[in-house]
Amino acid sequence: MHNYKKILVAIDFSDYGNLVAKQARYIADTFRAELHVIHVLDNIPMPDTPYGTLIPLDGPSDDLLLQTEKNKFIQICDAVQIIPANRWLIWGVPQEEITRLSLQKKIDLIIVGSHGRHGLAALMGSTAKNVIFHAECDVMTVHLRGDQ
Ligand code: AMP
């Protein structure tokens, strides 16, 4: 089996975001791997910012919606003890930013939930499918059921 050194977990803020993050922490600890986390903002408009698409997590934002999303992200990151330098909050299209960051950071395992905001109706969420298709490293899906 591959000895993973750098793991990236992709979280949304659905009911399952915490669960996926916890599972990723467990796997990272098992492999003694570095754990990175990404959330892609695809549902709020991008304000006029000098930062490009990467959002700094230290310091408050003028934009209330952005501040709410930052707080949710920080809460999950803190809960699973991901160090600030490995937290990535980025604007864009989830599957594109997840695969782009995985290449940039030389990630060898991406962890996504099987479902997210698009619900459990589909067999597998569209983000998970697209990441599996486009990633150049291993991808693990945490199987999520309605009773979790
Ligand atoms: P979905 O395609 O929305 O059903 O989501 C499936 C999985 O993709 C989720 O459990 C997350 O792991 C990941 N994901 C979905 N949306 C995002 C997002 N905006 N940022 C980061 N990861 C996401």
Band the pLDDT of 30: cuts 50, 70, 90: very high
pLDDT tens figures, 80-113: 999 999 999 999 999 999 999 999 999 999 999 9
DSSP for the chain, please give it.
-----EEEEE--SSTTHHHHHHHHHHHHHHHT-EEEEEEEE-SSPPPS-TTTTBPP-SS--S-HHHHHHHHHHHHHHHHTT--GGGEEEEES-HHHHHHHHHHHTT-SEEEEES--TT-SSSSS-HHHHHHHHH-SSEEEEE---TT-
Please give the number of the atom of ligand 1 that sits closest to the Cα of 114.
6
113 lines ligand 1 (CB under 6 A): yes
94 lines ligand 1 (CB under 6 A): yes
Q: Average of pLDDT values for 19-48?
A: 91
All domains in the chain, ordered by first residue: 6-112 (3.40.50.620)
101 lines ligand 1 (CB under 6 A): no
Q: Average of pLDDT values for 41-50?
A: 74
- Say what percent of the chain tops pLDDT 90: 60
Please give the number of the atom of ligand 1 that sits closest to the Cα of 10.
22
Residue 148: the pLDDT is: 56
- Whole-prediction pTM: 0.91
